[in-house]
Amino acid sequence: MSTYTTEESTVEVAAAVDAPSAQRLSSLDTLESEAIHIIREVVAEFEKPALLFSGGKDSVVMLHLATKAFWPGKVPFPVLHVDTGHNFPEVLEFRDRTVERLGLKLVVGSVQEFIDRGELAERADGTRNPLQTVPLLDAIQRNKFDAVFGGGRRDEDKARAKERILSLRDEFGQWDPRNQRPELWNLYNGRHTVGQHVRAFPISNWTELDIWRYIERENIELPGLYYAHEREVFARDGMWRAVGEVSQPLPHEDVITKTVRYRTVGDMSCTGAVESDAYTVADVVVEVAASTLTERGATRADDRISEAAMEDRKKDGYF
Amino acid sequence: MSTETAFLQAGLESAPLPSTLFRFATAGSVDDGKSTLVGRLLHDSKAILADTLDAVARTSADRGFGGDKGGIDLALLTDGLRAEREQGITIDVAYRYFATDRRSFILADCPGHVQYTKNTVTGASTADAVVVLIDARKGVLEQTRRHLSVLQLLRVAHVIVAVNKIDLVGFSEQVFRDIETDVQKVARELGLGSDGVADLLVVPVSALDGDNVVDRSERTPWYTGPALLEVLETLPAADELEAELESFRFPVQLVIRPQGALAPDAVAAGLDVEAYRDYRAYAGQITEGSVKLGDEVTVLSPGHEPRITRITGIDFAGTELQEAAAPQSVAVRLADEIDIARGDTIAAAGTVRESTADLYASLCWLSPKPLREGQKVLVKHGTRTVQALVRNVTGKLDLATFNVEPASSLELNDIGHAQLRLAAPLPLENYLHHRRTGAFLVIDPIDGNTLAAGLVKDHPGDHEDERYVI
Ligand SMILES: Nc1nc2c(ncn2[C@@H]2O[C@H](COP(=O)(O)OP(=O)(O)OP(=O)(O)O)[C@@H](O)[C@H]2O)c(=O)[nH]1
Ligand SMILES: [Mg+2]
């Protein structure tokens, strides 16, 4: 092992790093292995897990990892989609096709139904991302899910950066960031009492670039809007918004056709596109590696509301 | 594609080796500058994107950081909770990511406040290396001693000490050398450092200004060692060491036995349904060592004599491997039809001791509820959780002297020794040699909370542990 003395300018270290043994796993393999371990732990220790699946890239990667964890068996849990009603049609189509391909059960929690019943009110800014919490908790309770897999990554946001891999939620789905359980080694403690549930984040330690490198390596199919395509857009809040049923330009907002792609997929009315000529996954890897903006900074109006927007939503039970 | 991105892609393609993962954490007393150091590392290695930096600059200005001089409060890059920003302290671990040409780093910025020691233990438990900060004006404090004891207890592979705020003591070599001497004394008393003998690396830094963080500083000409990042780029990661151990260990997480319920996508891709009708494999993550096809293994199951069999398959999602090593997640098949379930362990034949229900342990107590003799708890070890009775508390560490003093209970943040009787035997191994199969959690059976980090010690009479205080 290494010995250092401060009098010498040369650093002596174990030779292992300069001549890595053939066995040394790449960072992507290590992350994959860690995620599969977590997915299997949760399935082994919980009665009724479910996986949040929106058709977005992180949840697609999660589902891919789950298929690998249980191969050649079926993925042993249903998927849950909290539908804002503000969807990109191609993402919904992709969702249904994926669920069909893997023979999974799909549970849908609908924001629209809650609005129709008067149990949720449309926000003044029209954004429905923050409204997902109520249907999410309702679906969890109704289906008695005791663990819910999410595709949240710690590099997405400063509040997510603080969350444990297994995150305990109380009867109201709330996260208490000031009083999290210790999480030691990779011994995950999923004990909970009646009414509580656990959110599990197996890809906590992946970055956006890891996700894309993995999609490239594993040849994972994604909804087409993640790649460069032509679209009618207008500028709002410094982002390109797609023209669609729920996302109409105001009179002073000019509609133009641009070559864009999406870095995240959420409520269509508040998710922005970025100008891009990344037509293939290899192009996207290069683009993401060179990007000077974070994915949320570039594409999410809802995270710009306040300094602690994500923390506040998570405390209330958000993903 | 622009020339700039084309250039980048050329760079990516010519990268000689896939990057590997390295995890490190910070520790040290309150306000020693841990978060600022992490922010500095991220900033100087260009890992902060423009919108994040803008947001942090705005918040710094709003809060009047740096007085008239201004500047960016780099600690805000990790202190992301509202309460942390209001109080100017770190409450819980923040994980951040950056990469150099050589490796990808996972950084865990831990709190210094004694109240949040459990979070620092969380961050350190998975770390390959920990950087302990010391404020140059204050030297070694009680909390520094506590954190160093925790790191020794966890046997963190590499501990590096950064004497921070060296700018505030006029870049004085004397101040640095005095602290360095104190640190080496503490390290020797605790048995810290690789195999308990080598000196620790102590680096003078200014997290605020960046001296000796990414590049060596001209303002400390008397220091001729490496800058922090240089060290972090070259240390071997813990799993690298674990993969090379002789002793293959594989706690079974679950049994994969589709019994006809095969994955439709696998079937559509041409999986031979007949061939997989009776498929049965044991899924888990290799915790140490490596395994090849044909290897003889011992299966340890509660209530059974150890059984010997052979590895006939190592599967990873449709790929049949010839061999695999820690920390790979795989599924193994065995030559004999034996009944194996979650909680059993598969190990290289002839390398394991029998399971035992007598647990001698070091504990780092993380709960405000104290540990008392006679108390019932749960012990989570590998993939098993069993009930346990606390028979004796046999001592606790005095931070001032590093002696283990007699005790009958352990309170919040105490490090001590205890003897527990388990309701069922477990394949316990000494943590000194088996980081994963030597670690366990103590859990409160009432509310399910984690009470302590536990580390298996040898039974009295096996003299392995004796050269260590804790
Ligand atoms: N002059 C000077 N000030 C520093 C240096 N490093 C940190 N500070 C200041 O010291 C104060 C505490 O810094 P933090 O980085 O928040 O300390 P910390 O160790 O993370 O604190 P906790 O996480 O709460 O324990 C801040 O005001 C920093 O700006 C340094 O190298 N030089
Ligand atoms: Mg801090």
Task: Please give the backbone phi and psi of residue A240, each rounded to the nearest 5 degrees, phi first.
Answer: -90, 120
Strands (E), B257-348: 281-285, 290-292, 296-300, 307-316, 319-321, 323-325, 329-334, 345-348
Cβ(B112) to ligand 1 under 6 A? yes
Helix ranges restricted to H, B26-136: 34-44, 50-62, 82-87, 117-125
CA A141, CA A145: separation in Å to the nearest integer? Answer: 7
Would you tell me the crossing angle of helices A27-45 and A208-218 to the nearest 10 degrees? 90
As a whole number of angstroms, the distance between CA B242 and CA B258 comes to: 32
| Phi, psi for A36 (deg, rounded to 5) | -65, -40
Give B-chain residues touching A42 at CB under 8 angstroms. none
Q: Looking at chain B from residue 395 to 434, which residues have their Cβ under 8 Å from any Cβ of chain A?
A: none
**H-helix or E-strand spanning residue A101:** helix A89-102
pLDDT of residue A21: 42
Instruction: Return the SS3 of B282.
Output: strand
C-alpha B61/C-alpha B56 separation (Å) is 9
**Alpha-carbon span B41 to B60, nearest angstrom:** 18
Q: Does A7 touch chain B (CB under 8 A)?
A: yes
Residue B105: per-residue pLDDT: 95
Could you tell me if the ipTM is greater than 0.90? yes
Q: If you measure from the C-alpha of residue B54 to the centroid of ligand 1, how many angstroms do you get, rounded to a whole number?
A: 20
Of B8, B51, B263, the CB nearest to A294: B51
Beta pairing, strands B158-164 & B201-204:
parallel
Looking at the domain covering B16-236, what would its CATH class be? alpha beta
B40 lines ligand 1 (CB under 6 A): no
Q: Which residue has the tokens 């590096």?
A: B160
Question: Phi and psi for A145 in degrees, rounded to 5?
Answer: -70, 130
Contact across the interface for B325 and A23, Cβ inside 8 Å: yes
Residue A113 has pLDDT above 70, yes or no: yes
What is the chain B residue with the closest CA to A168? B449
Residue range(s) occupied by CATH 2.40.30.10 in chain B: 247-348, 356-457
From B81, B125, B226, residue closest to A184, measured CB to CB: B125
CB of B30 sitting under 6 A from ligand 1: yes
Structural domains of chain A, with CATH: 27-209 (3.40.50.620), 224-309 (no CATH)
Among B29, B30, B31, the mutation site with the greatest number of ligand 1 atoms within 8 A of its Cβ is B31
Q: From CA A92, how far away is CA A55, in angstroms rounded? A: 7
pLDDT value at residue B394 = 94
Residue B104 at interface with chain A, using a CB cutoff of 8 Å? yes
CB contact under 8 A, B4 and A207: no
- Distance, in Å, from the CA atom of B412 to the CA atom of B399, rounded to the nearest integer, reads 14
pLDDT at site B4: 33
Reported residue count of chain B is 470
Among candidate residues A84, A80, A130, the one with its CA nearest the CA of residue A105: A80
Does residue B210 have its Cβ closer than 6 Å to ligand 1?
Answer: no
Give the Cα-Cα-Cα angle A31, A37, A42 (nearest 5 degrees): 130
**Chain B residues with CB-CB distance to A36 below 8 A:** 285, 329
Q: Quick check: B330 and B293 in contact, CB under 8 A?
A: no
pLDDT above 60 (res A19): no
Which tens digit of pLDDT belongs to each residue from B100-115?
888 899 999 999 999 9
pLDDT at A23: 54
- With an 8 Å Cβ cutoff, is B121 touching chain A? yes
**A191: chain B residues, CB-CB within 8 Å:** 443, 448-449
What percentage of chain A reaches a pLDDT higher than 70? 90
On whether any CB of chain B is under 8 Å from the CB of A166, the answer is: no
> HSE on the CB side for B266, CA within 13 Å?
23
- CA B456, CA B441: separation in Å to the nearest integer? 11
DSSP-derived pairing of the beta strands A79-83 and A49-52: parallel
* Candidates A25, A159, A187; nearest CB to B441: A187
Q: How far is B414 from B336, CA to CA, in rounded Å? A: 47
Cβ atoms of B117 and B36 within 8 Å: the answer is no
Parts of chain B with a pLDDT under 70: 1-18, 193-199, 461, 463-469
Distance, in Å, from the CA atom of A187 to the CA atom of B379, rounded to the nearest integer, reads: 11
Q: How far is CA B104 from the centre of its chain?
A: 16
Is A43 an interface residue toward B (CB < 8 Å)?
yes
Q: Tens of pLDDT along A237-248?
A: 878 988 887 788
- Mean pLDDT estimate for chain A: 87
Mean pLDDT of chain B: 90
Q: Which amino acid is at B62?
A: D
Question: Cβ–Cβ of A184/B453 closer than 8 Å?
Answer: yes
**SS3 of B7, please?**
helix
- Amino acid occupying residue A122: E
Q: Are A43 and B254 in contact (CB under 8 A)?
A: yes
The tens digit of pLDDT for each residue in B211-252 reads: 999 999 999 999 999 999 999 998 888 777 777 777 899 999
Whole-angstrom distance, CA of residue A308 vs CA of residue A295: 17
B27 in ligand 1 pocket by Cβ < 6 Å? no
Is the beta carbon of B89 within 6 A of some atom in ligand 1? Answer: yes
Q: Are B253 and A40 in contact (CB under 8 A)?
A: yes
Residues of B with Cβ-Cβ distance to A205 under 8 angstroms? 95, 97, 106
Characterize the bridge pairing of strands B94-99 and A256-262: unpaired
**Cβ neighbours of residue B259 closer than 8 Å, sequence gap 6 or more:** B277
> Hey, is A59 helix, strand or coil?
helix
Q: CA A254, CA B283: separation in Å to the nearest integer?
A: 56
B111 close to ligand 1 (CB < 6 Angstrom): yes
Is B21 within 8 Å of A30 (Cβ atoms)?
Answer: yes
Split at pLDDT 50, 70, 90, the class of A300 is: low
Q: What contacts A63, CB < 8 A, 6 or more positions away?
A: A51, A53, A75, A79, A98, A102
The answer to whether residue B270 neighbours chain A at the CB level (below 8 Å) is: no
3-class DSSP state of B463 = helix
- Asked if residues A263 and A276 have their Cβ atoms less than 8 Å apart, the reply is no
pTM for the structure as a whole: 0.92
Rg, Å, chain B Cα set: 25
Query: Across the strands, what pairs with B310?
Result: B296
Amino acid (1-letter code) at residue A162: K
Domain B247-348 superfamily per CATH: Translation factors (2.40.30.10)
In 3D, which of B236, B199, B201, B7 has the Cα closest to residue B102? B236
What's the CA gap between B292 and B314, in Å, rounded?
8
Query: Is the model more confident about A281 or about B235?
Result: A281
pLDDT tops 50 at residue A18:
no
For ligand 1, whether the C-beta of B84 sits within 6 Å is no
Nearest ligand to residue B32 Cα: 1
Q: What does the alpha-carbon distance between residue B53 and residue A69 come to, in Å, rounded to a whole number?
A: 38
CATH 3.40.50.300 in chain B, residue ranges: 16-236
DSSP assignment of B107-140, as one string?
EEE---SGGGHHHHHHHHHT-SEEEEEEETTT-S
What fold characterizes domain B356-457? Answer: Elongation Factor Tu (Ef-tu); domain 3 (2.40.30)
CA dist., res. B152 & res. B156, Å (int):
7
Protein residue with least CA distance to atom 7, ligand 1 = B33
Neighbours of A171 (CB within 10 A): 12
Ligand at minimal distance from the CA of B170 is: 1
- Is the peptide bond between A72 and the residue preceding it cis, with omega within 30 degrees of 0? yes
Measured in Å, how far apart are chain A's first and last C-alpha atoms?
43
Q: Looking at residue B206, what is its pLDDT?
A: 98
- The token pair that represents B152 in the structure block: 């020794």
* Contact state of B236 with A307 under an 8 Å Cβ cutoff: no
Q: Is the CB of B154 under 6 A from ligand 1?
A: no
Does B31 lie at the interface with A, CB-CB under 8 angstroms? no
Q: Is the dihedral of CA A84, A89, A90, A93 positive or negative?
A: positive
pLDDT 10s digits, A78-107: 999 999 888 888 999 999 999 999 999 999
Closest residue of chain A to B291, computed from CA coordinates: A23
Q: Is B204 close to ligand 1, i.e. is its CB under 6 Å away?
A: no
Ligand nearest to the CA of B34: 1
- Inter-chain contacts counted by CB atoms under 8 A, chains A and B: 280
Tell me which residues of chain A, numbers 266 to 295, contact chain B at a CB-CB cutoff of 8 Å: 277, 282-283, 285-287, 289-294
3-state secondary structure labels for all residues of B237-277:
CHHHHHHCCCCCEEEEEEEECCCCCECHHHHHCCCCCCCCC
Could you read off the pLDDT of B44-72 as tens digits, one per residue? 988 888 888 889 999 999 888 888 888 89
